[in-house]
Amino acid sequence: MKILVTGGAGYIGSHTTILLIEAGYEVVIFDNFSNASKESIRRVEAIVGKEIAVIEGDIRSREDLRKVFMAHKIDAVIHFAGLKAVGESVEQPLRYYDNNVNGSAVLCEVMSEYNCKSIIFSSSATVYGDPHTTPILENFPLSATNPYGRSKLMVEEILRDVYVSDSEWKIVLLRYFNPVGAHASGTIGEDPNGLPNNLMPFISQTAVGKREYLSVFGNDYDTVDGTGVRDYIHVVDLAQGHVNALDRIKNFKEPMTINLGTGNGYSVLEMVEAFERASEKKVSYKIAERRAGDIATCFADPSYAKEVLDWEAKRGIDEMCEDVWRWQSQNPSGYIS
Ligand code: NAD
Ligand code: UD1
Protein backbone atom coordinates (compact mmCIF):
# COMPACT_ATOMS: atom_id res chain seq x y z
CA MET A 1 0.00 0.00 0.00
CA LYS A 2 1.21 3.47 -0.86
CA ILE A 3 0.72 6.16 1.76
CA LEU A 4 0.93 9.91 1.28
CA VAL A 5 2.41 11.53 4.37
CA THR A 6 1.72 15.27 4.34
CA GLY A 7 4.13 17.10 6.63
CA GLY A 8 6.34 14.02 6.48
CA ALA A 9 9.54 16.02 6.89
CA GLY A 10 8.37 17.35 10.27
CA TYR A 11 8.82 16.02 13.78
CA ILE A 12 6.01 13.47 14.04
CA GLY A 13 5.83 12.81 10.28
CA SER A 14 9.49 11.81 10.04
CA HIS A 15 9.20 9.32 12.91
CA THR A 16 5.98 7.91 11.48
CA THR A 17 7.57 7.50 8.04
CA ILE A 18 10.21 5.21 9.54
CA LEU A 19 7.65 2.98 11.24
CA LEU A 20 5.47 2.87 8.11
CA ILE A 21 8.40 1.74 5.96
CA GLU A 22 9.46 -0.79 8.60
CA ALA A 23 5.87 -2.12 8.57
CA GLY A 24 6.05 -2.64 4.78
CA TYR A 25 4.16 0.44 3.56
CA GLU A 26 5.44 2.55 0.68
CA VAL A 27 5.64 6.24 1.56
CA VAL A 28 5.43 9.44 -0.46
CA ILE A 29 6.31 12.54 1.55
CA PHE A 30 4.65 15.85 0.68
CA ASP A 31 5.91 18.94 2.50
CA ASN A 32 6.46 22.62 1.81
CA PHE A 33 9.39 22.71 4.26
CA SER A 34 7.93 25.73 6.04
CA ASN A 35 8.89 24.13 9.35
CA ALA A 36 11.24 21.33 8.40
CA SER A 37 14.52 20.68 6.68
CA LYS A 38 15.41 18.30 3.86
CA GLU A 39 18.13 16.94 6.10
CA SER A 40 15.49 15.20 8.21
CA ILE A 41 14.43 13.17 5.17
CA ARG A 42 18.04 12.32 4.34
CA ARG A 43 18.45 10.98 7.86
CA VAL A 44 15.21 9.00 7.72
CA GLU A 45 16.50 7.45 4.48
CA ALA A 46 19.72 6.50 6.27
CA ILE A 47 17.72 4.82 9.05
CA VAL A 48 15.44 2.82 6.74
CA GLY A 49 18.18 2.17 4.19
CA LYS A 50 16.23 3.27 1.15
CA GLU A 51 15.31 6.34 -0.84
CA ILE A 52 11.94 7.92 -0.15
CA ALA A 53 9.76 9.66 -2.75
CA VAL A 54 9.49 13.33 -1.79
CA ILE A 55 7.35 15.98 -3.45
CA GLU A 56 7.79 19.58 -2.40
CA GLY A 57 4.47 21.38 -2.38
CA ASP A 58 1.75 23.06 -0.40
CA ILE A 59 -1.49 21.41 0.71
CA ARG A 60 -3.33 24.61 -0.24
CA SER A 61 -2.33 24.14 -3.88
CA ARG A 62 -4.58 21.84 -5.91
CA GLU A 63 -1.91 21.78 -8.62
CA ASP A 64 0.82 20.68 -6.22
CA LEU A 65 -1.40 17.94 -4.84
CA ARG A 66 -2.56 16.74 -8.26
CA LYS A 67 1.09 16.20 -9.20
CA VAL A 68 1.32 13.71 -6.33
CA PHE A 69 -1.82 11.81 -7.25
CA MET A 70 -0.93 11.76 -10.93
CA ALA A 71 2.51 10.34 -10.19
CA HIS A 72 1.45 7.85 -7.52
CA LYS A 73 -1.53 5.62 -6.82
CA ILE A 74 -2.12 6.67 -3.23
CA ASP A 75 -4.18 4.33 -1.03
CA ALA A 76 -4.40 6.49 2.11
CA VAL A 77 -3.19 9.80 3.49
CA ILE A 78 -1.69 10.54 6.88
CA HIS A 79 -2.19 14.27 7.23
CA PHE A 80 0.37 15.92 9.51
CA ALA A 81 0.93 19.13 7.52
CA GLY A 82 -0.04 22.16 9.55
CA LEU A 83 1.15 25.06 11.62
CA LYS A 84 1.21 24.37 15.35
CA ALA A 85 2.40 27.35 17.42
CA VAL A 86 -0.38 28.51 19.70
CA GLY A 87 0.97 32.04 20.34
CA GLU A 88 1.63 32.61 16.66
CA SER A 89 -1.92 31.49 15.85
CA VAL A 90 -3.27 34.24 18.10
CA GLU A 91 -1.18 36.82 16.24
CA GLN A 92 -1.85 35.43 12.75
CA PRO A 93 -5.25 33.73 12.86
CA LEU A 94 -5.95 34.05 9.13
CA ARG A 95 -2.66 32.39 8.26
CA TYR A 96 -3.54 29.49 10.58
CA TYR A 97 -7.07 29.09 9.21
CA ASP A 98 -5.77 29.26 5.64
CA ASN A 99 -2.96 26.79 6.19
CA ASN A 100 -4.65 24.31 8.53
CA VAL A 101 -8.34 24.52 7.61
CA ASN A 102 -8.32 25.56 3.97
CA GLY A 103 -5.29 23.33 3.34
CA SER A 104 -7.10 20.30 4.78
CA ALA A 105 -10.23 21.05 2.73
CA VAL A 106 -8.20 21.33 -0.49
CA LEU A 107 -6.42 18.08 0.36
CA CYS A 108 -9.76 16.24 0.78
CA GLU A 109 -11.05 17.72 -2.45
CA VAL A 110 -8.05 16.48 -4.45
CA MET A 111 -8.11 13.09 -2.67
CA SER A 112 -11.72 12.75 -3.74
CA GLU A 113 -10.86 13.62 -7.37
CA TYR A 114 -8.50 10.66 -7.40
CA ASN A 115 -10.87 8.41 -5.46
CA CYS A 116 -8.54 8.22 -2.46
CA LYS A 117 -10.87 8.30 0.54
CA SER A 118 -8.87 7.18 3.57
CA ILE A 119 -7.33 9.77 5.85
CA ILE A 120 -5.74 9.86 9.28
CA PHE A 121 -5.70 13.36 10.74
CA SER A 122 -3.43 14.86 13.42
CA SER A 123 -5.72 16.39 15.98
CA SER A 124 -4.75 17.45 19.47
CA ALA A 125 -5.81 17.18 23.09
CA THR A 126 -6.14 20.95 22.92
CA VAL A 127 -9.69 20.33 21.56
CA TYR A 128 -10.76 19.40 25.11
CA GLY A 129 -10.10 22.97 26.30
CA ASP A 130 -10.02 23.00 30.10
CA PRO A 131 -11.49 19.57 30.96
CA HIS A 132 -13.64 19.35 34.07
CA THR A 133 -12.00 16.08 35.15
CA THR A 134 -9.12 13.83 34.17
CA PRO A 135 -8.39 11.34 32.67
CA ILE A 136 -9.90 12.67 29.47
CA LEU A 137 -12.24 10.48 27.41
CA GLU A 138 -13.00 11.03 23.73
CA ASN A 139 -16.62 12.00 24.46
CA PHE A 140 -15.68 14.93 26.74
CA PRO A 141 -16.98 18.39 25.73
CA LEU A 142 -14.90 20.17 23.09
CA SER A 143 -13.77 23.79 23.04
CA ALA A 144 -10.92 25.94 21.85
CA THR A 145 -9.24 28.95 23.35
CA ASN A 146 -7.06 29.97 20.41
CA PRO A 147 -7.06 29.82 16.58
CA TYR A 148 -4.72 26.81 16.51
CA GLY A 149 -7.10 24.77 18.64
CA ARG A 150 -10.09 26.03 16.67
CA SER A 151 -8.41 25.02 13.41
CA LYS A 152 -8.13 21.45 14.75
CA LEU A 153 -11.78 21.43 15.83
CA MET A 154 -12.85 22.80 12.44
CA VAL A 155 -10.92 20.17 10.51
CA GLU A 156 -12.40 17.43 12.70
CA GLU A 157 -15.87 18.75 11.84
CA ILE A 158 -15.07 19.13 8.13
CA LEU A 159 -13.94 15.51 8.01
CA ARG A 160 -17.10 14.32 9.75
CA ASP A 161 -19.17 16.28 7.21
CA VAL A 162 -17.19 14.72 4.38
CA TYR A 163 -18.15 11.30 5.74
CA VAL A 164 -21.82 12.29 6.02
CA SER A 165 -21.76 13.32 2.35
CA ASP A 166 -20.01 10.13 1.24
CA SER A 167 -19.80 7.11 3.53
CA GLU A 168 -17.02 5.55 1.44
CA TRP A 169 -14.61 7.80 3.34
CA LYS A 170 -12.55 6.15 6.06
CA ILE A 171 -11.52 8.74 8.63
CA VAL A 172 -9.45 8.50 11.80
CA LEU A 173 -9.00 11.56 14.01
CA LEU A 174 -6.08 11.03 16.36
CA ARG A 175 -5.94 13.39 19.33
CA TYR A 176 -2.35 13.57 20.49
CA PHE A 177 -1.43 14.47 24.04
CA ASN A 178 2.12 15.87 24.46
CA PRO A 179 4.53 14.31 21.96
CA VAL A 180 8.17 14.26 23.11
CA GLY A 181 11.20 12.02 22.61
CA ALA A 182 13.18 11.15 19.54
CA HIS A 183 14.23 8.15 17.48
CA ALA A 184 16.63 5.91 19.42
CA SER A 185 19.35 6.47 16.79
CA GLY A 186 19.71 10.09 17.98
CA THR A 187 19.74 11.24 14.35
CA ILE A 188 16.21 12.63 14.11
CA GLY A 189 14.18 14.59 16.62
CA GLU A 190 12.28 17.79 17.31
CA ASP A 191 14.02 20.85 15.87
CA PRO A 192 11.97 23.95 16.71
CA ASN A 193 12.68 27.25 15.01
CA GLY A 194 13.90 29.92 17.42
CA LEU A 195 12.69 29.97 21.01
CA PRO A 196 10.84 26.72 21.77
CA ASN A 197 7.23 27.09 22.93
CA ASN A 198 6.98 23.63 24.40
CA LEU A 199 8.48 22.28 27.58
CA MET A 200 10.66 19.41 26.40
CA PRO A 201 12.74 21.25 23.77
CA PHE A 202 13.19 24.09 26.23
CA ILE A 203 14.47 21.70 28.90
CA SER A 204 16.85 19.98 26.48
CA GLN A 205 18.20 23.27 25.12
CA THR A 206 18.79 24.42 28.71
CA ALA A 207 20.64 21.18 29.51
CA VAL A 208 22.86 21.53 26.44
CA GLY A 209 23.70 25.13 27.40
CA LYS A 210 21.78 26.87 24.61
CA ARG A 211 19.37 28.50 27.12
CA GLU A 212 20.35 29.87 30.50
CA TYR A 213 17.33 28.60 32.43
CA LEU A 214 13.84 27.24 32.05
CA SER A 215 10.94 29.45 33.15
CA VAL A 216 8.44 27.26 34.96
CA PHE A 217 5.06 28.76 34.17
CA GLY A 218 3.37 28.80 37.58
CA ASN A 219 3.79 26.72 40.73
CA ASP A 220 0.41 27.40 42.29
CA TYR A 221 -1.76 24.99 40.33
CA ASP A 222 -3.74 22.36 42.18
CA THR A 223 -1.30 19.58 41.28
CA VAL A 224 1.25 17.36 43.00
CA ASP A 225 3.85 20.16 43.26
CA GLY A 226 1.93 23.16 41.94
CA THR A 227 3.32 22.95 38.39
CA GLY A 228 1.32 21.93 35.32
CA VAL A 229 0.70 18.23 34.69
CA ARG A 230 0.68 16.75 31.18
CA ASP A 231 0.57 13.39 29.45
CA TYR A 232 3.94 13.18 27.67
CA ILE A 233 4.00 10.51 25.00
CA HIS A 234 7.08 9.19 23.20
CA VAL A 235 6.94 10.17 19.52
CA VAL A 236 7.79 6.61 18.45
CA ASP A 237 4.80 5.27 20.42
CA LEU A 238 2.70 7.98 18.80
CA ALA A 239 4.02 7.00 15.36
CA GLN A 240 3.10 3.37 16.07
CA GLY A 241 -0.46 4.51 16.81
CA HIS A 242 -0.68 5.75 13.20
CA VAL A 243 0.58 2.45 11.81
CA ASN A 244 -2.00 0.55 13.87
CA ALA A 245 -4.74 2.94 12.70
CA LEU A 246 -3.70 2.47 9.08
CA ASP A 247 -3.63 -1.32 9.45
CA ARG A 248 -7.27 -1.21 10.56
CA ILE A 249 -8.67 1.75 8.63
CA LYS A 250 -10.55 -0.30 6.03
CA ASN A 251 -12.53 -2.06 8.78
CA PHE A 252 -13.80 1.11 10.44
CA LYS A 253 -17.48 1.64 9.64
CA GLU A 254 -17.54 5.33 10.59
CA PRO A 255 -15.12 8.13 11.54
CA MET A 256 -13.04 7.17 14.57
CA THR A 257 -11.88 9.68 17.15
CA ILE A 258 -9.09 8.31 19.33
CA ASN A 259 -6.87 9.69 22.09
CA LEU A 260 -3.17 8.88 21.80
CA GLY A 261 -1.72 9.36 25.25
CA THR A 262 -0.14 7.24 27.96
CA GLY A 263 -2.72 7.81 30.67
CA ASN A 264 -0.03 9.15 33.04
CA GLY A 265 0.43 12.77 34.02
CA TYR A 266 3.77 14.29 35.05
CA SER A 267 4.45 17.76 36.41
CA VAL A 268 6.95 20.23 34.97
CA LEU A 269 9.30 19.63 37.89
CA GLU A 270 9.00 15.85 37.54
CA MET A 271 10.02 16.23 33.89
CA VAL A 272 12.96 18.44 34.88
CA GLU A 273 14.12 15.77 37.37
CA ALA A 274 13.71 12.97 34.82
CA PHE A 275 15.73 14.95 32.31
CA GLU A 276 18.50 15.62 34.83
CA ARG A 277 18.68 11.87 35.55
CA ALA A 278 18.83 11.00 31.86
CA SER A 279 21.35 13.66 30.86
CA GLU A 280 23.37 13.92 34.08
CA LYS A 281 23.16 17.67 33.49
CA LYS A 282 21.69 20.36 35.68
CA VAL A 283 18.57 22.01 34.28
CA SER A 284 18.40 25.46 35.89
CA TYR A 285 14.92 26.85 36.29
CA LYS A 286 13.08 29.82 37.73
CA ILE A 287 9.46 29.98 38.74
CA ALA A 288 7.62 32.46 36.53
CA GLU A 289 4.05 33.68 36.06
CA ARG A 290 1.43 31.28 34.74
CA ARG A 291 1.25 31.26 30.93
CA ALA A 292 -2.04 32.61 29.61
CA GLY A 293 -4.32 29.85 28.37
CA ASP A 294 -2.56 27.05 30.30
CA ILE A 295 -4.55 24.52 32.27
CA ALA A 296 -3.49 22.71 35.45
CA THR A 297 -3.82 19.08 34.43
CA CYS A 298 -4.30 17.20 31.19
CA PHE A 299 -3.93 13.47 30.66
CA ALA A 300 -5.65 10.89 28.54
CA ASP A 301 -7.79 7.93 29.15
CA PRO A 302 -6.14 5.80 26.44
CA SER A 303 -8.42 2.75 26.83
CA TYR A 304 -10.31 3.33 23.57
CA ALA A 305 -7.03 3.24 21.61
CA LYS A 306 -6.25 -0.08 23.28
CA GLU A 307 -9.67 -1.41 22.36
CA VAL A 308 -9.89 -0.32 18.73
CA LEU A 309 -6.24 -0.04 17.67
CA ASP A 310 -4.72 -2.65 19.98
CA TRP A 311 -2.26 0.11 20.80
CA GLU A 312 -0.77 1.40 24.00
CA ALA A 313 2.24 3.53 24.77
CA LYS A 314 5.24 1.45 25.88
CA ARG A 315 7.91 4.02 26.66
CA GLY A 316 8.12 5.87 29.98
CA ILE A 317 9.49 9.32 30.81
CA ASP A 318 13.03 8.08 31.46
CA GLU A 319 13.27 6.66 27.94
CA MET A 320 11.66 9.83 26.53
CA CYS A 321 14.29 11.98 28.23
CA GLU A 322 17.20 9.68 27.31
CA ASP A 323 16.18 9.77 23.66
CA VAL A 324 15.72 13.54 23.63
CA TRP A 325 19.11 13.93 25.24
CA ARG A 326 20.81 11.69 22.67
CA TRP A 327 19.26 13.75 19.84
CA GLN A 328 19.97 17.13 21.51
CA SER A 329 23.54 16.37 22.60
CA GLN A 330 24.49 14.89 19.21
CA ASN A 331 22.75 17.71 17.31
CA PRO A 332 23.00 20.83 19.50
CA SER A 333 21.88 23.01 16.59
CA GLY A 334 19.32 20.56 15.28
CA TYR A 335 19.50 19.63 11.62
CA ILE A 336 21.80 22.57 10.79
CA SER A 337 24.70 20.77 12.44
P1 NAD B 1 6.05 19.99 12.46
O2 NAD B 1 5.93 21.46 12.27
O3 NAD B 1 7.35 19.42 12.82
O4 NAD B 1 5.53 19.24 11.14
C5 NAD B 1 4.54 19.77 10.31
C6 NAD B 1 5.07 19.67 8.89
O7 NAD B 1 4.08 20.20 7.98
C8 NAD B 1 6.34 20.49 8.65
O9 NAD B 1 7.30 19.66 8.03
C10 NAD B 1 5.90 21.64 7.75
O11 NAD B 1 6.94 22.05 6.89
C12 NAD B 1 4.73 21.02 7.02
N13 NAD B 1 3.71 21.96 6.54
C14 NAD B 1 3.12 22.96 7.23
N15 NAD B 1 2.23 23.60 6.46
C16 NAD B 1 2.25 22.98 5.24
C17 NAD B 1 1.56 23.20 4.02
N18 NAD B 1 0.67 24.18 3.88
N19 NAD B 1 1.82 22.38 2.98
C20 NAD B 1 2.74 21.38 3.10
N21 NAD B 1 3.42 21.15 4.22
C22 NAD B 1 3.18 21.94 5.29
O23 NAD B 1 4.92 19.57 13.52
P24 NAD B 1 4.67 18.19 14.25
O25 NAD B 1 4.97 18.38 15.68
O26 NAD B 1 5.31 17.09 13.54
O27 NAD B 1 3.09 18.10 14.12
C28 NAD B 1 2.47 17.39 13.10
C29 NAD B 1 0.95 17.58 13.23
O30 NAD B 1 0.53 17.14 14.49
C31 NAD B 1 0.50 19.04 13.10
O32 NAD B 1 -0.71 19.07 12.37
C33 NAD B 1 0.27 19.45 14.54
O34 NAD B 1 -0.69 20.46 14.65
C35 NAD B 1 -0.22 18.15 15.14
N36 NAD B 1 0.02 18.07 16.59
C37 NAD B 1 1.30 18.28 17.06
C38 NAD B 1 1.52 18.25 18.43
C39 NAD B 1 2.91 18.50 18.97
O40 NAD B 1 3.03 18.83 20.13
N41 NAD B 1 3.97 18.34 18.21
C42 NAD B 1 0.46 18.00 19.30
C43 NAD B 1 -0.81 17.78 18.79
C44 NAD B 1 -1.02 17.81 17.42
C1 UD1 C 1 0.82 23.32 24.22
C2 UD1 C 1 -0.29 24.11 23.56
C3 UD1 C 1 -1.33 23.14 23.02
C4 UD1 C 1 -0.67 22.17 22.04
C5 UD1 C 1 0.46 21.45 22.75
C6 UD1 C 1 1.21 20.58 21.78
C7 UD1 C 1 -0.38 26.28 24.72
C8 UD1 C 1 -1.15 27.14 25.64
N9 UD1 C 1 -0.88 25.02 24.54
O10 UD1 C 1 0.26 22.56 25.25
O11 UD1 C 1 -2.35 23.84 22.35
O12 UD1 C 1 -1.61 21.22 21.57
O13 UD1 C 1 1.39 22.42 23.28
O14 UD1 C 1 2.15 19.81 22.41
O15 UD1 C 1 0.63 26.67 24.17
N16 UD1 C 1 5.97 24.95 30.49
C17 UD1 C 1 6.83 25.66 31.29
N18 UD1 C 1 7.85 26.36 30.70
C19 UD1 C 1 8.04 26.38 29.35
C20 UD1 C 1 7.16 25.65 28.54
C21 UD1 C 1 6.13 24.95 29.13
O22 UD1 C 1 6.70 25.66 32.51
O23 UD1 C 1 8.98 27.05 28.88
C24 UD1 C 1 4.90 24.17 31.11
C25 UD1 C 1 3.50 24.57 30.70
O26 UD1 C 1 3.00 25.58 31.55
C27 UD1 C 1 2.75 23.24 30.83
C28 UD1 C 1 3.81 22.19 30.50
O29 UD1 C 1 5.07 22.83 30.69
O30 UD1 C 1 2.33 23.04 32.15
C31 UD1 C 1 3.73 21.69 29.07
O32 UD1 C 1 3.76 22.80 28.19
P33 UD1 C 1 3.82 22.64 26.60
O34 UD1 C 1 4.92 21.71 26.25
O35 UD1 C 1 3.82 23.99 26.00
O36 UD1 C 1 2.46 21.87 26.24
P37 UD1 C 1 0.94 22.25 26.60
O38 UD1 C 1 0.84 23.43 27.45
O39 UD1 C 1 0.31 21.01 27.10
For 176-203, how does the pLDDT look when each residue is reduced to its tens digit (9 = 90+)? 999 999 999 999 999 998 899 999 999 9
Residue 337 pLDDT exceeds 80: no
For 148-163, how does the pLDDT look when each residue is reduced to its tens digit (9 = 90+)? 999 999 999 999 999 9
Work out which ligand 1 atom sits closest to the CA atom of 31: 21
- For residue 73, the tally of other CB atoms under 10 A from its CB is 12
For ligand 2, the distance from its centroid to the CA atom of residue 71, given in whole angstroms, is 40
Catalytic residue (choose from 11, 96, 128, 148): 148
For 251-297, how does the pLDDT look when each residue is reduced to its tens digit (9 = 90+)? 999 999 999 999 999 999 999 999 999 999 999 999 999 999 999 99
For 216-260, how does the pLDDT look when each residue is reduced to its tens digit (9 = 90+)? 999 999 999 999 999 999 999 999 999 999 999 999 999 999 999
What's the CATH number for 2-182+232-262? 3.40.50.720
Whose CA is closest to atom 12 on ligand 2?
126
Whose CA is closest to atom 39 on ligand 1?
179
SS3 assignment, position 43:
helix
Using CA of residue 33, residue 34, residue 36, residue 38, what is the dihedral sign? positive
pTM assigned to the model: 0.98
- Ligand number nearest CA of 269 is 2
- Tell me, yes or no, if 148 is annotated catalytic: yes
How much is the pLDDT for 141?
98
Q: Where are the domains of the chain?
A: 2-182+232-262
For ligand 2, the distance from its centroid to the CA atom of residue 199, given in whole angstroms, is 6
Mean pLDDT across 71-79: 98
How much is the pLDDT for 258?
99
> How many whole angstroms separate alpha carbon 171 and alpha carbon 121?
8
Position 46 confidence tier, pLDDT thresholds 50, 70, 90: very high
For 81-121, how does the pLDDT look when each residue is reduced to its tens digit (9 = 90+)? 999 999 999 999 999 999 999 999 999 999 999 999 999 99
Contacts for 292-295: CB closer than 8 Å, 24+ residues apart: 293/86, 293/145, 293/146, 294/217, 294/218, 294/228, 295/129, 295/130, 295/131, 295/228
Position 336 confidence tier, pLDDT thresholds 50, 70, 90: confident
Outline where 23-76 has alpha helix (H). Answer: 38-48, 62-71
Best probe residue, ligand 2, of 155, 202, 294, 321 (max atoms within 8 Å of C-beta):
294
Position 306 confidence tier, pLDDT thresholds 50, 70, 90: very high
- Ligand number nearest CA of 128 is 2
